[in-house]
Every structure is written in C-alpha cells, then in structure tokens.
C-alpha cells in the first residue's frame, strides 16, 4: 500500500468520523425532556428522583445551566427562586413558571456533635430574627429595600477575636456571590451578624458546593452556609441549625419552550411505584 | 488486632454495599464508565488520524522546503500554507486549557447540539490530535537522517522512504510517549462533566452528592481509573516487546 492510498483512506475515515459526530450532535429530538440543574443541589436531587437520571443534565453552576437553556440544550432549568430571578433578569427570552416546583427551608450546617456551636448560633439567630435584623437583610437582597449592602472582604482581616470559619459556594446570588473583592449575599450578611453577636471574626472559605458537607464533617470548617436545604440524607451527615430563610425551587423556561406551565412537566414524571 | 482488622473491613464492605450497590447506583457508575470509554476511544481515533496528518505536513515541509523552494511552483506554496495552518492549530490547541476548549465546543461551535458526548469526543479529539502530531513529528525527526538518505539512494521516492524506512522506526520510538498521551487523555475526559455528560468522575461525584458519603465513591472512581491505566500500560508493554523482537 503506498503512502498515497493510506492518506486517501485516512482522509475518508476522518471525514466520516467528523461528519458523523456533527450529525449525531445535531440529531433530531425525540419527545423526552431534558432538565438542566446545578450538580448536587436540591433541584438536582429532586429532579433526578421525579424524572430519572436520564432526564437530568447537571452543570457545574446555575449560570452554565441557564446558558444551556438559552442554547436549547435543555428544555427547562430547575433552580432556587432567588438566583432564578437574577438569571431571568439578566437574560431576555427567559421566564419563571408561575407555580413553584418545591418549597423548603434553608439552614446552617455543623459538624455532628458540635452542639455547643449549634446552640450558640441558634440562640443568636433567634434573637436576630426577633429583632428584624435577618428580615432586613433578606429585604435588601430580594425586595431591593435600597439599604446599602455590607460585603465581607475576600481577604480575611486579622483581628484578635477567634475565627468562625464558614464554608460557602459564592456562585449563588443573592445568597452568596463575589463582587469585586468582597463577598455579598443573604447568607454572608446573616453569618456576619451572627458572628458579631457571638464575638467571633467571620472567615469565609469559598469552596465547591459539593465540598461543603465533607469539609464540615471533617472539621475543616466550623459551619456551612450556602442556601442549603435541610433533608434527611444531609441530616445523617451534619447537624442543622434552625431555618433562617425559605428556599423555593422554580422552573425557568425559554419563552418558546414546550414547557409553559408546571402541568406541562406531568407527562415526564417517572411512574410512581 | 486481627479481630479489629476483620471488623473494620466488614464495616467498609457494608458501607460500600450501602453507598455503591443500592438504588442502582453501581449501574449509574457503569453508565459513566461507558461514556468515559466512548469519549476516550472516539477522541483517540480522531486524535491519531489528525495527528498523522499534521505530523506528515509539518515534517514534509521541514524536510523538503529547500528543494521545493528551488524548484518553485505551486507545490511549495500549498505545503507552506498547510504548514502555517497546522502551526496555528497547534498553537491554539496547546495554548488553551482543554476545559475551555470543551466549553467553547459545547456552547459556541456546536451550540445546537443537545447531546454532550459527541461534542466531548470532538473537543478531546481535536485537543489530543495536537499532542499526537507533535509526538509523531518528534519521532520522525528522531530517526537518523542517514536512514532517509539510504532509502533515497536505494531508489525509493520520498513517500516510499517514509513508509518503509522512517515510519516503522518512528513508531517504535514514539510508542511509550503515545501511550502516555492516551493515559493523559483517559484521565482528561474527567472534565466532561462540565458539559453535562455523565462520565465516570461525574457519576462518582453525583453518587457522593446523593449519599453525602464522599470516601467510597471517590476511592471507587480512583481505583477504576487506576485499573484502566494499568491495563492500558500492560497492553502497550506487550506491543513494545513484540516490536523489539526484530532488534536482535
């Protein structure tokens, strides 16, 4: 076989492989549903349970999932209500379905057996909810009450107070996000007033959402606070404080999507046994 | 002492059972493994074919540019243009991280594709092609120029010299490096999760997220990768020994 024949064969093979890849990639859509989610969030867990793993496409963060929705790679995105609002506000052609998908409570997690810190935080939280401080923060971020946001510098400032290390995933506006060189968000500010009340210096560790629970379990962080929903599986691994906010999972769709109301999802639910 | 060991092994086995085997989680991991295979071998095929092409163009240009320039004509221009295109491809592909290339393929180049796997095959294939091309080129260049001259003086033309004298020696020289590239590719596919593909790593990560038990899924995934790489190295070892037979 001469080199020329080899090159001919090789070019045909390459063209075929590339062509088939392209065809496969743009192949026609069957009547199944694809639901975009953020990996290992409540939305992911619920959607996988309701619609099956095969129907769920999980992305590293919510913004990527929304980008996939815009490009038509998924039919809808199931995500927390507050970040959903930010995403929809920032992208035209998207909307949130009127009926929510689920509702649940957010809480702070601690290492199993760390009752001392948990009780102290619960105490502080109770007082701060009673005097309206928590509500004020929520209003700032969600209802745009106009009060100035109070960020925490990314680079921790040393003081002589003991540190309270909080693990979060600062990619979840308005609960936690980075703007410039400061952390902002409901969780960040609530943690700050709790730390102030208890006489700690708040130190924020920004890690992957997936690493928060293992890190808290291992005692690497004193607490985890990242718009985290209390559920049975998580309760086996960590302790939870009282709830400080309510999270709502909603469905984002594009305006021309086949999903236009929560009922449109019904045919795709897995049969219940 | 022994009792302690036995009981901790049993405890670990129980935990493995609970975390990995229940609720169809192991099948989920196997699906992930299957996708890792599909992506790796698909990318390998594209990478080798692309690599051969690019290496052939680059070495042909380097070896023949003087003589072609003297002869003049369109041949030199075509080869020079193709060489520039190849160099551009190598610069871009080796100069940017594979995750970024993957995301660009998914969201920009194939923005209409709703299945991440072919996109991942494409992206990893294009990426691997650049490295394979340089491996092949290094191999061809490492064959002593005397071998090439001997071929030409025996009356072989350029392609025949390449085909019968240079390439066989080159292949033996590059095999370990090529194997290295395959191993790297296999492990690199672990970022396919970025475009919504459930590969082995993502499957392990999802199981961990579902059970909030990280130790066992992570170790299981690590062991599977390790075994795959060991099998791959072993197979290449056999191939190397067989190729070396003709040395003596």
How much of chain B exceeds pLDDT 70, in percent? 99
Contacts of B64 in chain A (CB under 8 A): none
Q: Is residue A5 part of a domain?
A: no
Angle subtended at Cα A19 by Cα B81 and Cα B185, rounded to the nearest 5 degrees: 80
Q: Is residue A58 part of a domain?
A: yes
| Residue of B206, B208, B213, B221 to mutate, interface with A, max A Cβ within 10 Å | B206
Q: How many CB atoms are located within 10 Å of the residue B4 CB?
A: 8
A263 and A240 fall within a common domain: no
Interface of B with A in 141-200 (CB under 8 A): 159-160, 162-163, 193-194, 196, 198
**Interface size between A and B, measured as CB pairs under 8 A:** 105
Range A17-27 average pLDDT: 67
Q: Which pLDDT value is given to residue A25?
A: 60
A64 and A186 fall within a common domain: no
Contacts of B132 in chain A (CB under 8 A): none
Is the pLDDT at A272 greater than 90? The verdict is no
Q: Which pLDDT value is given to residue A195?
A: 92
A173 and A116 fall within a common domain: yes
User: Which is more confident, B73 or A182?
Assistant: A182
B202 in reach of chain A (CB within 8 A): yes
Q: Yes or no: say if A62 and A171 are a contact pair by the CB < 8 Å rule.
A: yes
Q: Nearest chain A residue to B215 by CA: give it.
A: A214
Q: The pTM is what?
A: 0.71
**Residue A202's domain is classified under what CATH number?**
3.40.190.10
A3–B210 CB contact, under 8 Å? no
A203 and A222 fall within a common domain: yes
Query: Please, which residues have CB within 8 angstroms of residue A171's CB and are 6 or more apart in sequence?
Result: A61, A62, A63, A177
Q: Nearest chain B residue to A215 by CA: give it.
A: B214
**Closest-CA distance of chain B to residue A94, Å:** 17
A181 and A208 fall within a common domain: yes
A218 in reach of chain B (CB within 8 A): no
B41 in reach of chain A (CB within 8 A): no
Contacts of B52 in chain A (CB under 8 A): 10
First to last CA, chain B: 54
pLDDT digits (tens, 9 = 90+) for A30-80: 578 899 999 888 888 889 888 988 889 999 888 889 989 998 889 999 998
Instruction: With both helix axes pointing from N to C terminus, report the angle between B167-188 and B116-142 in degrees, rounded to the nearest 10.
Output: 150
Structure tokens given for B92: 């871009």
**Closest-CA distance of chain B to residue A21, Å:** 6
Is the pLDDT at A1 greater than 70? The verdict is no
B210–A29 CB contact, under 8 Å? no
Q: Is residue A19 part of a domain?
A: no
Q: Which pLDDT value is given to residue B137?
A: 93
A172 and A217 fall within a common domain: yes
Of B45, B162, B206, nearest to A17 by CB-CB distance is B45
Region of poorest pLDDT, from A228-232, B42-46, B100-104, B221-225: A228-232
Q: Nearest chain B residue to A4 by CA: give it.
A: B159
The domains found in chain B, sorted by start residue, are 24-247 (1.10.3720.10)
Is the pLDDT at B102 greater than 90? The verdict is yes
B140 in reach of chain A (CB within 8 A): no
A12 in reach of chain B (CB within 8 A): no
pLDDT digits (tens, 9 = 90+) for B131-186: 999 999 999 988 988 998 899 899 998 888 888 888 888 888 898 899 889 999 99
Q: How confident is the model at residue A210 (pLDDT cuts 50, 70, 90)?
A: confident
ipTM computed for the complex: 0.72
Contacts of B112 in chain A (CB under 8 A): 25-26, 71-72
Closest by alpha carbon to B194, among B137, B120, B95, B88?
A: B120
What's the CA gap between B235 and A266, in Å, rounded?
50
Rg of chain A over all Cα atoms, to the nearest angstrom: 23
Q: Which pLDDT value is given to residue A26?
A: 59
A95 and A127 fall within a common domain: no
Q: Which pLDDT value is given to residue A24?
A: 67
Q: Is residue A70 part of a domain?
A: yes
B45–A213 CB contact, under 8 Å? no
What's the CA gap between B178 and B128, in Å, rounded?
10
A258 and A202 fall within a common domain: no
A112 and A240 fall within a common domain: yes
User: Which is more confident, A155 or A197?
Assistant: A197
Q: Which pLDDT value is given to residue A22?
A: 66
Q: Yes or no: say if A75 and A34 are a contact pair by the CB < 8 Å rule.
A: yes
A121 and A201 fall within a common domain: yes
Extract long-range pairs of B25-29: CB within 8 Å, 24+ residues apart: B25/B207, B25/B210, B25/B211, B28/A53, B28/B198, B28/B203, B28/B206, B28/B207, B29/B200, B29/B203, B29/B204, B29/B207, B29/B220, B29/B221, B29/B224
Query: Please, which residues have CB within 8 angstroms of residue A13's CB and are 6 or more apart in sequence?
Result: B49
A150 and A47 fall within a common domain: no
Give me the number of domains chain A comprises: 2
A86 and A141 fall within a common domain: no
What's the CA gap between A243 and A245, in Å, rounded?
6
Q: Is residue A22 part of a domain?
A: no
Q: How many CB atoms are located within 10 Å of the residue B62 CB?
A: 13
User: Which is more confident, B189 or A82?
Assistant: B189
User: Range of A77's domain?
Assistant: 30-102+250-268
A72–B202 CB contact, under 8 Å? no
- The residue length of chain A stands at 273
Is the pLDDT at A264 greater than 80? The verdict is yes
Contacts of A17 in chain B (CB under 8 A): 42, 45-46, 49
Highest-confidence range of B97-101, B158-162, B201-205, by mean pLDDT? B97-101
A64–B194 CB contact, under 8 Å? yes
Average pLDDT, chain A: 86
**Closest-CA distance of chain B to residue A156, Å:** 29
Q: Is residue A273 part of a domain?
A: no
Q: Is residue A121 part of a domain?
A: yes
Structure tokens given for A124: 């502080």
pLDDT digits (tens, 9 = 90+) for A68-119: 999 888 999 999 888 898 889 888 889 999 888 988 788 999 999 888 999 9
Range A132-157 average pLDDT: 81
């Amino acid at each position: 076989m001469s080199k020329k024949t080899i090159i001919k064969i090789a070019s045909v093979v390459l063209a075929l492989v590339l062509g088939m890849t392209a065809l496969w990639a743009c192949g026609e859509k069957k009547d199944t549903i694809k639901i975009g989610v953020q990996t290992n969030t409540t939305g992911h867990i619920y959607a996988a349970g309701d619609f099956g793993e095969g129907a769920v496409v999980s992305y590293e963060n919510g913004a990527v999932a929304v980008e996939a929705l815009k490009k038509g790679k998924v039919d809808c995105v199931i995500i927390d209500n507050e970040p959903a609002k930010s995403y929809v506000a920032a992208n035209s052609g998207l909307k949130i379905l009127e009926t929510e998908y689920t509702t649940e409570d957010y809480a702070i997690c601690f290492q199993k057996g760390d009752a001392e810190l948990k009780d102290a935080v619960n105490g502080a939280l109770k007082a701060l909810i009673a005097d309206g401080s928590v509500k004020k923060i929520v209003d700032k971020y969600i209802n745009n009450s106009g009060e100035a946001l109070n960020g925490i510098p990314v680079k921790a400032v040393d003081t002589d107070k003991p540190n309270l290390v909080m693990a979060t995933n600062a990619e979840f506006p308005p609960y936690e996000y980075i703007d410039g060189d400061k952390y902002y968000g409901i969780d960040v500010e609530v943690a700050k007033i709790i730390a102030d009340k208890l006489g700690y210096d708040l130190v924020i560790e920004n890690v992957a959402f997936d690493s928060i629970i293992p890190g808290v379990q291992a005692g690497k962080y004193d607490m985890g606070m990242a718009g985290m929903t209390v559920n049975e599986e998580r309760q086996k691994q960590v302790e939870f404080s009282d709830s400080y906010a309510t999270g709502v999972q909603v469905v984002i769709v594009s305006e021309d999507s086949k999903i236009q109301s929560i009922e449109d999802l019904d045919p795709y639910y897995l049969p219940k046994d | 002492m022994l009792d302690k060991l036995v009981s901790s092994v049993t405890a670990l086995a129980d935990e493995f059972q609970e975390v990995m085997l229940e609720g169809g989680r192991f099948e989920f991991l196997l699906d992930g493994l299957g996708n890792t295979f599909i992506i790796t071998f698909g990318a390998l095929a594209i990478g080798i074919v692309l690599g051969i092409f690019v290496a052939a163009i680059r070495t042909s240009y380097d070896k023949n540019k003087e003589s072609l320039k003297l002869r003049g004509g369109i041949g030199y221009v075509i080869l020079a243009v193709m060489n520039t295109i190849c160099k551009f491809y190598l610069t871009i592909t080796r100069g940017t991280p594979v995750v970024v290339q993957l995301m660009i393929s998914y969201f920009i180049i194939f923005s209409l594709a709703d299945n991440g796997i072919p996109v991942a095959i494409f992206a990893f294939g294009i990426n691997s092609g650049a490295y394979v091309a340089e491996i092949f080129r290094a191999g061809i260049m490492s064959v002593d120029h005397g071998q090439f001259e001997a071929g030409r003086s025996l009356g072989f033309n350029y392609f025949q010299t390449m085909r019968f004298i240079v390439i066989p020696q080159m292949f033996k020289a590059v095999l370990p490096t090529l194997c290295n590239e395959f191993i790297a590719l296999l492990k690199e596919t672990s970022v396919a999760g970025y475009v919504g593909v459930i590969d082995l790593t993502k499957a392990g990560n999802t199981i961990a997220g579902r059970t909030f038990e990280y130790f066992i899924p992570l170790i299981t995934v690590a062991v599977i990768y390790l075994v795959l790489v060991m099998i791959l190295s072993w197979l290449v070892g056999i191939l190397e020994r067989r190729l070396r037979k003709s040395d003596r």
